[in-house]
Amino acid sequence: MDTTTADRIEKEIVLNAPRSRVWKAISDPAEFGTWFKVDMSGVKFEPGKPVNAKMTYPGHEGMPFEMVVDRIEPERLFSFRWHPYGIDPNYDYSTEPMTLIEFELEEVPGGTKLTVTESGFDAIPLARRAEAFRMNSGGWAQQLRNIDEYVAQNP
């Protein structure tokens, strides 16, 4: 199911894995980095703390990846903030508001439902908003395929 409004992207998938396994895939920096395609070497996820890493995503290798961890509620919710589609190395995103990304887990028949919501696009500057929304909507669809493949191959 995909639910989309102008301010938020919401996507969900049922992963054929126990909630504890999916939780580890999203909350352990090394595992997160593997399927999300970011080099998380030396990174720790702590609420309120920034993460500075490098992308390994094809076509964006070496680009900065920055986020600020928001909440960690074991086996239920992992959330962070970032600058959506912040890939232009010549643009300073630091003055812009960030969107909020929430990974929510729920046990369901057949595995674990993962719901990913990115909200706050209404606050993104109009000149970037539509493109950031479009690119991230497609990006989240790809990332759900990535985590599905990752947990299937790494039970």
Average the pLDDT over 6-32 and give the result. Answer: 96
- Residue 4: band (very low, low, confident or very high) from pLDDT cuts 50, 70, 90: low
Q: Is residue 65 part of a domain?
A: no
| Contact assessment for residue 43 and residue 27, using Cβ atoms and an 8 Å cutoff | no
| Contact assessment for residue 38 and residue 53, using Cβ atoms and an 8 Å cutoff | yes
Angle subtended by helix axes 126-153 and 19-27, to nearest 10: 130
Instruction: Give the integer Cα–Cα distance in Å for 35 and 55.
Output: 11
> What tokens appear for 127 in the block?
């000149």
Domain count along the chain: 1
Instruction: Quote the pLDDT of residue 3.
Output: 53
Average the pLDDT over 9-26 and give the result. Answer: 97
Instruction: Quote the pTM value.
Output: 0.93
Instruction: Quote the pLDDT of residue 40.
Output: 97
Q: Is residue 51 part of a domain?
A: no
Q: Is residue 46 part of a domain?
A: no
Residue where the block lists tokens 């690119």 = 135
Does residue 57 carry a pLDDT above 60? yes
Q: What is the CATH classification number for the domain harbouring 98? A: 3.30.530.20
Residue where the block lists tokens 């674990």 = 112
Q: Residue 30: count other Cβ atoms within 10 Å of its Cβ.
A: 12
Average the pLDDT over 133-140 and give the result. Answer: 95
Tell me the residue range of the domain where 100 lies.
2-37+73-153
Average the pLDDT over 7-30 and give the result. Answer: 97
